[in-house]
Amino acid sequence: MSQLHEHIQSADWKSEKHVPVIESPDTVKAGEIFRVSVALGKEIDHPNTTEHHIRWITLYFRPEGDKFEHEIAHIEFSAHGESAKGANQGPVYTHHCAVACMKTNAAGTLHALAYCNIHGLWESNRDIKVQ
């Protein structure tokens, strides 16, 4: 039987449109709020059509030395051009980008997991230092 982690893909976001790109400060002040953005298609656009789209992004934080991650945000993208008139005829399309604000007293790693309805799960990570 396969395990979920065997199916999570990763790559360099500069050459693969499915990899979530995490943008945040490299170093933050302990206990101060900072912004984290996660998006797909920074270098290569990812489609956002009824047939092929990013369904959701989840952002986690794992403090150094801790065993488990903490979920920071889960964002679902629900509008991909669906309409009673047919696929890609709708008036609304969400864009696969999200911003979360957080604070921490511990250095650690941000992990982003994104789901493409055709190409499955993709991940990336970014280390954060605390001063």
- Residue of 42, 69, 97, 119 marked active site: 119
- Residue of 16, 80, 111, 123 marked active site: 16
Q: List strands edge to edge, sheet with 34-39.
A: 21-23, 34-39, 97-102
Q: Is-above-0.75 flag for pTM? A: yes
- Concerning whether 46 is annotated as a catalytic residue, the answer is yes
- Concerning whether 95 is annotated as a catalytic residue, the answer is no
- Concerning whether 43 is annotated as a catalytic residue, the answer is no
* Per-residue tokens: 62: 């794992």
Question: Given the structure tokens 């990812």, which residue do they identify?
Answer: 46
- Concerning whether 97 is annotated as a catalytic residue, the answer is no
State the amino acid at position 87 in one-letter form.
A
pLDDT of residue 33: 98
pLDDT of residue 5: 81
- Residue of 46, 53, 96, 111 marked active site: 46
- Concerning whether 119 is annotated as a catalytic residue, the answer is yes
- Concerning whether 29 is annotated as a catalytic residue, the answer is no
User: What domains can you pick out in the chain, each with its CATH number?
Assistant: 4-130 (2.60.40.730)
Other Cβ atoms less than 10 A from the Cβ of 116: the count is 20
pLDDT per residue as tens, the chain (131 positions): 888 888 887 777 777 889 999 999 999 999 999 999 999 988 888 999 999 999 999 999 999 999 999 999 999 999 999 999 999 999 999 999 999 999 999 999 999 999 999 999 999 999 999 99
Strands 120-130 and 27-28: parallel
Angle at 57 between CA 117 and CA 50, to 5 degrees: 35
* Per-residue tokens: 70: 């903490």
pLDDT of residue 41: 82
- Residue of 14, 29, 52, 129 marked active site: 52
- Concerning whether 111 is annotated as a catalytic residue, the answer is no
pLDDT of residue 42: 84
pLDDT of residue 40: 93
